[in-house]
Amino acid sequence: MLTTSFTWNDLLFMLDGAWVTLQLTFWAILMGTFAGLLFGLLRALAPRASLPLAWLLDVFRSVPLLIQFVLFNAFKSIVGLNISAFSVGCIVLGVYTAAYFTEVVRGGVLAVPLSVRRASRSLGLSYLQDLRWIVLPMATRVAFPGWLNLVLGVMKDSALVMWIGIVELLRASQTIVTRIQEPLLVLCIAGLIYYVMSLVVARLGARLERRWQEND
């Protein structure tokens, strides 16, 4: 019998959607962080040589994420790529993350004073040693808050994958709303779940940042 009230099974269905949201966020941040780190270093250390890369990344930062999902999903069908909608969501979110994290890394690297780098070289460190032991640790602390904000943003932006057929938290919520016609109740629960997930990520990030400060 079809019920028109919110049930325990509905909550479990929403939590399953939240798990999909977390998986999308994890893979997007993983791909975007590694790619953004590489691209950010290139942009900071070789700005002229990496200009074509900068223009390409500007495209992904400028075009709305929803349009990127729709276009890539259509492109996948046109060229016959046999990948799932979940993979499409991860790839698009990963590229989107990389485009923004590139600028976060670039800003972190450029925030390291040139005098510090000169001092490290005068002490006998090679270019790579200077990059590994001086620049990256200092840039990481500068870039970390921006990276954390990016994680929280990607977690919320992942809701747009519903337009390519992925049942994440928001899509699961809309499915329940269609059945019970209680949008206020369901969306409040969805918002609470988003809040809890974001709060956990933010608290973990704040704890890590405090440990860095204590070790100084």
Model pTM?
A: 0.90
* Nearest alpha carbon to residue 11 among 200, 198, 192: 192
pLDDT digits (tens, 9 = 90+) for 28-63: 999 999 999 999 999 999 999 889 999 999 999 999
Going from N- to C-terminal start, the domains of the chain cover 20-165
Secondary structure letter of residue 64 according to DSSP: -
Q: From CA 26, how far away is CA 154, in angstroms rounded? A: 9
In the block, tokens 């629960």 appear at 189
CB 40 within 8 A of CB 109: yes
Give tens-digit pLDDT for 101-154.
999 999 999 998 888 888 887 888 887 888 888 888 889 888 999 999 999 999
Q: How confident is the model at residue 65 (pLDDT cuts 50, 70, 90)?
A: very high
Q: Output DSSP code: residue 164.
A: G
Res 3: pLDDT? 63
Q: Which fold has domain 20-165?
A: MetI-like fold (1.10.3720)
Q: Which two tokens stand for residue 215?
A: 């070790």
Which one is predicted more confidently, 40 or 1?
40
The pLDDT assigned to 78 comes to 87
Fill in the amino acid letter for 83. I
Q: How far is CA 52 from the centre of its chain?
A: 23
- Looking at residue 127, what is its pLDDT? 78
Residue 155: predicted pLDDT: 95
Helix axes 85-110, 136-157, angle to 10 degrees: 150
pLDDT at 125: 81
Helix (DSSP H) and strand (DSSP E) numbers for the chain:
9, 0
Q: How far apart are CA 200 and CA 25, in angstroms?
A: 14
What tokens were used for 31?
């791909």
Q: How confident is the model at residue 2 (pLDDT cuts 50, 70, 90)?
A: low
Burial class (CB in 10 A: 0-12, 13-18, 19+), 53: middle
Residue 16: which pLDDT band, with cuts at 50, 70 and 90?
A: very high
